[in-house]
Amino acid sequence: MAETALIDVKEHNLLAALRGFFKTVLKQEEISAILVPRRLPVTPTVMPTLVTDPKHLDAADPLSPAFPINAAKIVSRLTRRESGGKVAAVMRPCEIRAFVELVKLKQGRTEDLVIIGLDCLGAFSNRDYFQWISEDADACTEKFCSVMLTGDSSGGSRELASACRVCEQPVPAGADITVGLFGVDTAGRIPVTAQSAAGEDLFAKLGLRVGEEPTARRKAIEKLVAERTAARDAMFEATRATVDNLEKLTGYLANCVNCYNCRVACPVCYCRECVFVTDVFDHEPSQYLRWAARKGAVKMPTDTVFYHITRLAHMSTACVGCGQCSNACPNDIPVMELFRTVAHRTQQAFDYRAGRSLDDKPPLAEFKEDEFQEVVGIEA
Amino acid sequence: MSEFEPTIVAFFCNWCTYTAADLAGTSRLSYPHSIKIVRVMCSGMVDPKYVIKALLEGADGVIVSGCNPGDCHYINGNYKARRRIKLLKEILPQFGFEPERLRLTWIAASDGLLLSEIMQEMTEQLRALGPSEARLKMVI
């Protein structure tokens, strides 16, 4: 049974309350370190930071709309082998989903890890974030929270990143401990809930005041999920129409320069070495001339569409929709829209949802003898 | 006007379908020359990349063919192939590739006749469909 406690928010300072909670977690003997989004010195950049000294938590900012990297890959680095210690990781819902996918691919472990998930208020694109942030970063984060939680945009606002606008899973499923924000009076008390055995273990030691989750949270989540799902479906429809033949797809990807940033940023692009940077694609100069001679013209660098469709074949069933691909694109190609649209269909085809459960095997890691008969044969 | 002759890239498993193609030949059965056979050890080793690349380079159709379920020389390669083809059949139509352009069949080593019929049929389907967009348009 999920157990809930309430944390007091003093003087309307939500960030301070969360920092205090993280300090309490870090104080536990069994927790060696806490991984948390933290502001870096000099710049307002927020990066996942592995903290052992509680004073560094004063710069922790898990609510900032900065999302420069999907931390699933970081948590994978921390857990892929035994570390000799236990880490608490503060993650966004899409980061947790991506991490679940990596665990299934044996690129991460859930032992010695406690995942703390917050209701996700979303993030800006990297570009927007740096245009928006000002010197008083705490005040900026506060303003952002009030826009997202109460709709009060008097302090000025920006649109969320495209991925966040269509994110229908803003609640941290798969976390060991969750912190609720939606529908919660964040100037009063915020609910913290243990969601797993590991979460309950830690929870019992934190000495928090037991309470009840505000009923408004469930309702606020339902409303948000319904809005986001509608936005998502509209995005799917628009994207489908934009790429429904090869010529249109070529147009969609025309600004791609094969930098492969999207797959570097992708948390579930799991290959240790991408085939597109191996000798396989280190073509002989004469090869290019032959291609050009056969087709009359060949765009350089070659294999752009090939790269994207291959990546779709590799990771679309694991796509969690975090949008880091779009964030990483130097030429503003709407990569997330394309990948999520295709991924939605491939995941449906295998009755799979990326990040849903550690128990679902990745679709291409298993088979049944009696399935998909309809793809065999040459009848239309 | 001469009739359009499609190009079909065929990935045939060494143990069943390729042997069936051999049998078709020694039995003096004919099949269309539109088909370009690539012999692979198992349908389960056909990387989705091979299919994607063939289609993007202008093949009008791709066929992957292996042993019947339960007969795979490597026990279960054909089941894995089936999942991969299923995956491609979800991805490729979203970019306008018609379902006729990608086929998966099981053809046993003794079934030279079936092979000849299937190749005939697929060729006719693609002839009716016309050349692939990848052949006509510039693909980056």
ipTM here: 0.96
Which residues of chain A make contact with B103, given a CB cutoff of 8 A? 377-378
Residue B62 in any domain: the answer is yes
The nearest CA of chain B is from the CA of A266 a distance in Å of 19
The nearest CA of chain B is from the CA of A164 a distance in Å of 24
Residue B3 in any domain: the answer is no
The nearest CA of chain A is from the CA of B70 a distance in Å of 8
Distance CA B132, CA A92 (A): 43
* Contact yes or no for A313 and B48 at CB 8 A: yes
Distance CA A332, CA A324 (A): 12
Task: Provide residues of A within 8 Å CB-CB of chain B.
Answer: 240, 243-250, 253-254, 256, 275, 295, 297, 299, 304-306, 309-310, 312-313, 316-317, 341-342, 345-346, 349-350, 363-364, 367-369, 371-372, 375-378, 380
The nearest CA of chain B is from the CA of A378 a distance in Å of 6
Residue B127 in any domain: the answer is yes
**For residue B43, what pLDDT band results from cuts at 50, 70 and 90?**
very high
* Contact yes or no for A312 and B106 at CB 8 A: no
Instruction: Give the number of other Cβ atoms within 10 Å of residue A53's Cβ.
Output: 8
Task: Provide residues of B within 8 Å CB-CB of chain A.
Answer: 48-49, 52-53, 56, 63, 69-70, 76, 79-80, 82-92, 94-97, 99-100, 103-106, 118, 121-122, 125, 133-134, 137-140
Sheet order of strands, A113-118 included? A46-51, A31-39, A86-91, A113-118, A177-179, A189-194, A3-8, A209-210
What CATH number does residue B93 fall under?
3.40.50
Give SS3 for A364.
helix
The nearest CA of chain A is from the CA of B113 a distance in Å of 15
Q: What pLDDT is stored for residue A163 in this prediction?
A: 97
Which residues of chain B make contact with A310, given a CB cutoff of 8 A? 48-49, 52
Residue B86 in any domain: the answer is yes
Residue B105 in any domain: the answer is yes
Q: What DSSP state is assigned to residue A150?
A: H
The nearest CA of chain B is from the CA of A86 a distance in Å of 38
Preceding omega of A68 cis (within 30 degrees of 0): no
User: What single string gives the DSSP state of each residue in A65-106?
Assistant: S---S-THHHHHHHHSS--SSEEEEEE-HHHHHHHHHHHHTT
- pLDDT tens string, chain A, 380 residues long: the values are 578 999 999 998 999 999 999 999 999 999 999 999 999 998 889 999 999 999 999 999 999 999 999 999 999 999 999 999 999 999 999 999 999 999 999 999 999 999 999 999 999 999 999 999 998 999 999 999 999 998 776 666 789 999 999 999 999 999 999 999 999 988 899 999 999 999 999 988 998 888 888 899 999 999 999 999 999 999 999 999 999 999 999 999 999 999 999 999 999 999 999 999 999 999 999 999 999 999 999 999 999 999 999 999 999 999 999 999 999 999 999 999 999 999 999 999 999 999 999 999 999 999 999 999 999 999 86
What 3 state SS string does A207-219 have?
Answer: CCEECCCCHHHHH
Residue B2 in any domain: the answer is no
Which residues of chain A make contact with B104, given a CB cutoff of 8 A? 375-377
Distance CA B100, CA A62 (A): 50
Dump pLDDT digits (tens) for B92-122. Answer: 999 999 999 999 999 999 999 999 999 999 9
Q: What pLDDT is stored for residue A379 in this prediction?
A: 84
* Contact yes or no for B91 and A363 at CB 8 A: no
**For residue B1, what pLDDT band results from cuts at 50, 70 and 90?**
low
Strand (E) or helix (H) holding A352: none
Strand (E) or helix (H) holding A359: none
From the centroid of its chain, how far is CA A201?
A: 26
* Contact yes or no for B52 and A249 at CB 8 A: no
Question: Nearest Cα to A4, choosing from A218, A204, A210?
Answer: A210
- Domain count for chain B, please give it: 1
Which residues of chain B make contact with A275, given a CB cutoff of 8 A? 49
* Contact yes or no for B52 and A345 at CB 8 A: no
Angle (deg, nearest 10), helices B77-91 and B48-56: 40
The nearest CA of chain B is from the CA of A337 a distance in Å of 13
Angle (deg, nearest 10), helices A335-349 and B77-91: 130
* Contact yes or no for B96 and A244 at CB 8 A: yes
Which residues of chain A make contact with B99, given a CB cutoff of 8 A? 380
Q: What pLDDT is stored for residue A154 in this prediction?
A: 67
* Contact yes or no for B83 and A372 at CB 8 A: yes
User: In the structure encoding, which two tokens stand for residue A237, read together?
Assistant: 């429809």
Residue of B nearest to A236 (CA): B94
Q: What pLDDT is stored for residue A277 in this prediction?
A: 94
Residue B72 in any domain: the answer is yes
Strand (E) or helix (H) holding B27: none
Range of the domain at B124: 8-136
Q: What pLDDT is stored for residue A380 in this prediction?
A: 66
* Contact yes or no for A372 and B139 at CB 8 A: no
Distance CA B128, CA B97 (A): 15
Q: Which among A309, A349, A350 has CB closest to B52?
A: A309
Inter-residue contact B13 to B64 (CB < 8 Å): no
Residue B91 in any domain: the answer is yes
Strand partners, A60: A38
Which residues of chain B make contact with A312, given a CB cutoff of 8 A? 91
Inter-residue contact B90 to A337 (CB < 8 Å): no
Dump pLDDT digits (tens) for A69-111. Answer: 999 999 999 999 999 999 999 999 999 999 999 999 999 999 9
